Amino acid sequence: MSNQGSWPQAPNWGSGGAPDQPAWGAPSAPVAQPPGSLPTYPAANQAFPPEAPPGMYLDPSSGLLLPSGTQLASSARRIGAYFLSIPLVIITLGIGYVIWGAIVWGRGQTPALQVLGMRCWRPETGRVAGWWWMALRETIGRLVEGIFGFVTLLLSFILMLATREHRCLHDMVAGTVVLYDPQRALNGRASPAS
């Protein structure tokens, strides 16, 4: 029988259609890629990007997984913390600031960060920076920032303004980002021995 004058028959998608096509919604077999070829994108039925674990969310501006109830500290808030530390050092006569800092490092904070409700977060571990990470950030990181005086301080400031994560040089040394935690969602999330 000829098909002249009749509509072409639509493929039967529910049963797989053509022999080389899987049924609608069925997982497709992986296609072998030749060496050196570009990567393929995930299938339409896979989640992309992956869903955030419970209690976390994907921050669209930085691309980081952050705890719910927090947000990446803005550049203005970071600048405020820098300038707040100056009167805090003066009021506590310097030594009080150092002692205060050594106490709050275990909670991922410096005195100025504590006053402004911010904490240092380590995205690689998904935890608040512990005492040793804060010690690295505040000693070696600050030493790196001050190594060439004004030039490295200016570079650190520019990096904080230009990077998506608002990281200064001392944040890059310790692998931290600064989060604003107005609801104190990060209380109890510090690394026990780090």
Q: At residue 169, what is the residue type?
A: L
Residue with tokens 């419970």: 54
At residue 15, the pLDDT reads: 47
At residue 38, the pLDDT reads: 58
Chain centroid, CA 48 distance in Å: 17
At residue 192, the pLDDT reads: 58
Query: What's the whole-number average pLDDT of the chain?
Result: 83
Confidence of residue 17 (pLDDT cuts 50, 70, 90): very low
DSSP helix, strand, coil percent of the chain (3-state; round to 5):
40, 10, 50
How far apart CA 87 and CA 134 sit, in angstroms, is: 21
Residue ranges of alpha helices (H) inside the chain are: 75-91, 95-104, 111-115, 131-135, 142-146, 150-162, 169-174
How far apart CA 117 and CA 180 sit, in angstroms, is: 6
What 3-state DSSP class applies to 144? helix
Pair of tokens at residue 72: 């990446």
How far apart CA 112 and CA 124 sit, in angstroms, is: 24
Q: At residue 168, what is the residue type?
A: C
Predicted structure pTM score = 0.71
Reported as type and span, the H/E element at residue 57 is: strand 56-58
User: How is the chain split into domains, by residue range?
Assistant: 62-180
At residue 18, the pLDDT reads: 47
